[in-house]
Amino acid sequence: MDLITKDLLINFLIILLPLFLMQSLYQLKYAYRFENLKEWVFAIFPVLTMVSCMLFPVGIGDGFSWDLRRIPFILGILYGGYKLGFILLFFLFAIRYFIGGNGFYLTLITISLLAVLVLFFSRYYMKMSLKQKLTTSCSLIFLSVLMSVFFSEKLFESNMGARMWVQYIVINVTGMFITTLLWEGIRNNFEVLQKLMKTEKLEVVSHLAASISHEVRNPLTVSRGFMQLSSDEELSPQVRKFYVDTAIQEMDRASEIINDYLTFARPEIDKKEKFNVFEEIQGVADILTPLANMNNTQLKVSSEKNEYGFVLGERKKFEQCLVNIIKNGIESMPDGGKLQIDMIQHSSTIQITIRDEGTGMTQEQINRLGEPYFTTKSKGTGLGMMVSFSIIKEINGKIRVESERGKGTCFTIELPVCN
Ligand code: ADP
Ligand code: MG
């Protein structure tokens, strides 16, 4: 293997490393909700990669410097748009200027031409299919290297030899192919994750629907029975009134259950507001009682309505968070049991504990709790806890888990009071 190939491969490593760093950052931002990780941070990677490529070039002498800078440069513009493009362009010219030599003018010509071309394509790039993206990025780099070959031979009379040029072109294009594939893979991964997080609620809602219809059938059957009884003509007015009243009561119960469910299921625009934690707990308990009944579990809420128990945050999201945790508790008790929810008000925090008598978790499972896709259920999504954790974090709360295998699990949530 020639020296140039070896050095270019090291250059390629410089490109791969930041790509994996970027993936880890994406993981932090989207899966673990590091909201204050700003979008522009990701722009550092193409710049960093390009600069490192140029600082560790393949030494060829002649005042020319050979490296894989075109890969981060082209992809940076295609994915990041023209703003990132100008930053990259600035760094590229500045660094190339300090390196010096005839190559600077070669760079000035070829890269300027390339930049115009890439900027043109960047408008359509995001809407392309993977195949089109690969073709675009690879053709762009192929063209640009070809341009360099042409200008350096014609204008600067460099004598590299065809063999070198072929190697240089092959490595550039293969490098571009692999990098584009990886970049797309990383992006797709997180897009899918974000989409799934959005459908998580639908999943819960569809689960609840089964228990709701089950629960509504009872009052309907009862009221139908009383209606039938009251149609007897020989009844005294008092008894008939009693029958009809009972029927109405049962009907009201059915409609209440459906109402609770619909309020939870209705999508709402997220907005921050002050809400009463007690009311939310009570509301969520009402929504989940049918599910608990269907699973032979008892749902017990012991907390008092408190005028100071207010928290600032998105109400609907908080509901969703409680539903996810309580639903897990119910599901952890396949043979029935008790699920106890307590709320204690301290001076500056509200503490909610949700305790079940279910299967519990091993230490390893506790550690993995909140990781995307971690589930032990055959039909689980493994997103419920992740969503819950991130919601609590958004309200600046804390969540703790204690669990013992065979005994049960206790979630403790602490929220800052807002009065
Ligand atoms: P899913 O419920 O779809 O499996 P979650 O993110 O809600 O996904 O939960 C992830 C995993 O954490 C569950 O599969 C279960 O193994 C475990 N888990 C969560 N809560 C409890 C609990 N209260 N008791 C026992 N295991 C639990
Ligand atoms: Mg769950």
Angle, in degrees to the nearest 10, between helices 162-230 and 3-26: 20
Tell whether 306 and 172 lie within a shared domain: no
The answer as to whether 308 is a domain residue is: yes
The answer as to whether 378 is a domain residue is: yes
251-254: long-range pairs with CB below 8 Å, 24+: 251/219, 251/220, 251/223, 253/219, 254/216, 254/219, 254/220, 254/223
**Cα torsion through 90, 18, 30, 188, rounded to 10:** 90
The answer as to whether 7 is a domain residue is: yes
Spatial contact of 17 and 182, defined as CB atoms under 8 Å apart: no
Cβ–ligand 1 distance for 402 under 6 Å, the answer no
Q: What is the Cα–Cα distance from 262 to 273, expressed in whole angstroms?
A: 21
Report CA torsion sign: 345, 346, 348, 353: negative
Q: Please give the tally of structural domains in the chain.
A: 2
Q: Which atom of ligand 1 is nearest to the CA of 386?
A: 6
Q: What is the Cα–Cα distance from 17 to 346, expressed in whole angstroms?
A: 48
The answer as to whether 209 is a domain residue is: no
Cβ–ligand 1 distance for 179 under 6 Å, the answer no
Q: What is the pLDDT of residue 61?
A: 58
Per-residue tokens: 110:
């070829």
Cβ–ligand 1 distance for 382 under 6 Å, the answer yes
Neighbours of ion ligand 2 (CB under 5 A): 328, 384
Q: What is the pLDDT of residue 31?
A: 66
Cβ–ligand 1 distance for 356 under 6 Å, the answer yes
59, HSE (Cβ side, Cα atoms, 13 Å): 1
Tell whether 109 and 187 lie within a shared domain: yes
Cβ–ligand 1 distance for 288 under 6 Å, the answer no
The alpha carbon of 197 and the centre of ligand 2 are apart by a number of angstroms equal to 12
Cβ–ligand 1 distance for 375 under 6 Å, the answer yes
Q: What is the Cα–Cα distance from 349 to 309, expressed in whole angstroms?
A: 9
Q: What is the pLDDT of residue 60?
A: 59
Q: What is the Cα–Cα distance from 29 to 419, expressed in whole angstroms?
A: 31
The answer as to whether 192 is a domain residue is: yes
The alpha carbon of 380 and the centre of ligand 1 are apart by a number of angstroms equal to 8
Cβ–ligand 1 distance for 380 under 6 Å, the answer yes
The alpha carbon of 324 and the centre of ligand 1 are apart by a number of angstroms equal to 9
Tell whether 304 and 176 lie within a shared domain: no
Q: What is the Cα–Cα distance from 395 to 53, expressed in whole angstroms?
A: 43
Q: Which atom of ligand 1 is nearest to the CA of 374?
A: 10
The alpha carbon of 406 and the centre of ligand 2 are apart by a number of angstroms equal to 18
Cβ–ligand 1 distance for 374 under 6 Å, the answer yes
- Residue from 288, 323, 328, 368 to probe ligand 1 pocket by mutation (most atoms less than 8 Å from CB): 328
Q: pLDDT tens per residue, the chain (419 residues)?
A: 455 677 777 888 888 888 888 888 877 776 666 767 777 777 888 898 999 888 888 765 566 677 888 999 999 999 888 889 999 999 999 998 888 777 788 888 889 999 999 999 999 999 999 999 999 999 999 999 998 888 888 877 766 677 778 888 888 899 999 999 999 998 888 888 878 877 777 778 877 887 888 788 888 999 999 999 888 888 888 999 999 999 999 998 888 888 878 877 777 777 889 999 999 999 999 989 988 998 899 999 987 777 788 999 988 889 989 999 999 999 999 999 999 999 998 889 999 999 999 999 999 999 889 887 889 998 888 888 988 988 898 889 999 999 999 999 999 999 999 87
Domain limit, last residue, from 168, 200, 232: 200
- Residue from 199, 375, 386 to probe ligand 1 pocket by mutation (most atoms less than 8 Å from CB): 375
- Show Cβ contacts of residue 153 under 8 Å, excluding neighbours closer than 6 positions: 160
Q: What is the pLDDT of residue 1?
A: 45
Tell whether 297 and 161 lie within a shared domain: no
Place of tokens 């500045």: 94
Tell whether 25 and 160 lie within a shared domain: yes
pTM: 0.67
Spatial contact of 360 and 406, defined as CB atoms under 8 Å apart: yes
Q: What is the pLDDT of residue 4?
A: 65
Ligand nearest to the CA of 382: 1
The parent domain of residue 287 ranges over: 269-416
Spatial contact of 353 and 297, defined as CB atoms under 8 Å apart: no
Domain limit, last residue, from 140, 172, 200: 200
Q: How far is CA 268 from CA 1, 49, 202, 280, 317, in A?
A: 62, 42, 13, 16, 10
Spatial contact of 357 and 170, defined as CB atoms under 8 Å apart: no
CATH of residue 332's domain is: 3.30.565.10
The alpha carbon of 303 and the centre of ligand 1 are apart by a number of angstroms equal to 25
Domain limit, last residue, from 185, 200, 215: 200
